[in-house]
Structure 1
């Protein structure tokens, strides 16, 4: 089948409201280009295990594995992911075919009673299961009590509304995509809460031997976002990054120059945050990858510890 011909496509997706929004968004874009597109809703291990933090049960890859099995078995052709949930190394036989234009990458402060993090009283309870957010929040407000918060976006908001937390921290992108931007009391400046690698961006995964799908998805790609998140993910990969490592990486591409910031926190909280920044001209994914690896080296030089021996 020629890459220019319409393809019958099945999108594998988690069944949370946000995941379905993301899949339906891609479905609409592909249908507008003449493709026939249906959805295959699936429940992943990450959706089922809600009583433990992801860092203790296998990481965010638990949200991806079942979707990859559907691709491998031919039950689906593409999988739409929040890029921050995608492991830094894809299994053999799979490829990231497309990175789409990024939504707001920042973290959002959500609270029914308090207007900002600074407005919280001493000892207030803040919900998040992200180790990255935990160490950054503790650096800003060491007096706060950080409590685990699992579940999909609606579940997290319900737990907040039930009074289990004084405030919670969520990705602004998810709230905005679901029309819940009114729940955001304030968006954190990236200088205060550096986002996770890939936060706010959508990635589309395929079997790496499907060149026809690669061609069909090419028009959906956003090169500026792809370059930026490639650098961010390279930092995390070089550090052995997963959700069990408090690591942040955020880039901005301005007139061909990528400005990349990263931060590493000690999981035990016994060492201060380590920050690193650099800028470089970036025109290719290889350029972006090299900048990310350089930033990881600066983090390690500053005292950050990689999660495994680094070979890059």
Structure 2
């Protein structure tokens, strides 16, 4: 059986689950066997660096650099990513060509000392590697001790069992994809604890102009997810979003209409600016870009000084 497509991915259980989902959808769409799609595991810098925050090591691109190099070198044909890990600017010659139907975008709290963040004892430790989550936790409970928590889903849950922290927050979508959503003790509502742009969505990256690959991917692309992500990523781009910027943004699609809400915070969670926008789903990117420009102007450049 000739390999139709080589699928590049990180090697964590969650990354592999996402690659397997992409492969299963391709198999179903084209009536091809599993052997037609080879999964190629690539270790990234983000996987190797576990002792410090991503912002201090080079940003979210650390989870994509080596995979994108393999894509450009034609060692793989597509790359499967968590959309939230994708920088807003991609290497020349690459594009996000498909999005799979989005899973639940909410965050999940896994508590040992209490089931909800609100019920944690004074001074309890909550582990997170996300500046957005850290800032939102501090906004909710400034008395809590927020500690750095790196690693894949299983590693973070093990650290929790070992007492490194009294609770942690993980993406509900990731927990569902690895069959561990039952460990969640509380689901964080979208309005009080908004997700980062792209959370819950699987993105597929490919080479621009690779028409054979584009034809294979077209049937598995989810238009609604693609539009929502176009809005969220445009919002992020307007704010120069990186791992140093606590930014939340979520777009929902209902028919041909789009609704978006965005939030920026200072790292300590004490200052915030929120924005809502809506319009035609076909104008998703423009809506996100306008929302980002408006909230940036409203906050003023001094708001962003602590991020640099």
TM-score (norm 1): 0.92
Equivalent position of 1:234 in the other structure: 234
Q: Which deviations, in whole Å up to 9, do the C-alpha atoms of 1:253-289 show, x marking residues without a partner?
A: 123221111111123x385111111111222xxx111
1 CA distance for matches of 2:259 and 2:154? 34
TM-superposed deviation, 1:137? 1.1
Residue 7 of structure 1 and its aligned partner are, at CA, apart by: 6.4
Report if aligned partners of 1:276, 1:295 keep a CA contact under 8 Å in 2.
yes
Q: CA deviation at 1:72?
A: 1.3
Alignment of 1:272-283 (within 5 A): 272-283=271-282
Match of 1:98 in 2: 98
Q: CA deviation at 1:234?
A: 0.5
Gap change, CA 1:172 and 1:202, over 3 Å in 2: same
Aligned to 2:68: 68
Q: By how many angstroms is 1:304 displaced?
A: 5.3
1:9 maps to which of 5, 12, 29: 5
Gaps of 5+ in 1: 1-5
Partner of 1:209, secondary structure, is: coil
Q: Distance in 2 between matches of 1:158 and 1:144?
A: 21
For 1:1-312, list aligned pairs within 5 A.
Answer: 8-32=4-28, 33-35=30-32, 36-267=36-267, 269=268, 272-283=271-282, 287-303=283-299, 305=301
Q: Is the 8 A contact 1:240 1:307 kept in 2?
A: no
| C-alpha deviation, 1:246, in angstroms | 0.6
Paired residue secondary structure (2:80): strand
Secondary structure of 2:299's aligned partner: coil
Shift of 1:27: 1.4
Q: Distance in 1 between matches of 2:199 and 2:265?
A: 18
Q: CA deviation at 1:108?
A: 0.5
Separation of aligned partners in 1, 2:148 and 2:300: 24
Instruction: Give a deviation string over 1:36-89, Cα, whole Å, max 9, x none.
Output: 101111110000000010011111111111111111111110000000001111
**Unmatched 5+ stretches in structure 2:** none
Residues 270, 137 of structure 1: alpha-carbon distance in 2 compared, 3 angstrom cutoff: closer
Asked whether the equivalents of residues 139 and 270 of structure 2 are also in contact (C-alpha less than 8 Å), the reply is no
Q: How many residues align?
A: 299
In structure 2, how many angstroms separate the alpha carbons of the residues matched to 1:270 and 1:86? 24
How big is the shift at 1:9? 0.8
More helix by share: 2
Q: 1:209 to 1:128 in 2, by over 3 A?
A: same
Q: Distance in 1 between matches of 2:189 and 2:20?
A: 30
Q: How far off is 1:125 after superposition? A: 0.4
Q: Report the Cα offset of residue 216 of structure 1.
A: 0.8
Instruction: Indicate the residue corresponding to 1:3 in structure 2.
Output: none
Residues 126 and 144, structure 2, Cα contact 8 Å, conserved in 1: yes
Which aligned runs of 4 or more in structure 1 are off by greater than 3 angstroms?
Answer: 304-308
Alpha-carbon offset, residue 112 of structure 1: 2.9
Q: Secondary structure at the match of 1:261?
A: strand
1:197-218 Cα distance to aligned partner (Å, 9 max, x none): 0000000001112011111101
Q: Tell me if structure 1 keeps the 8 A contact 2:136–2:269.
A: no
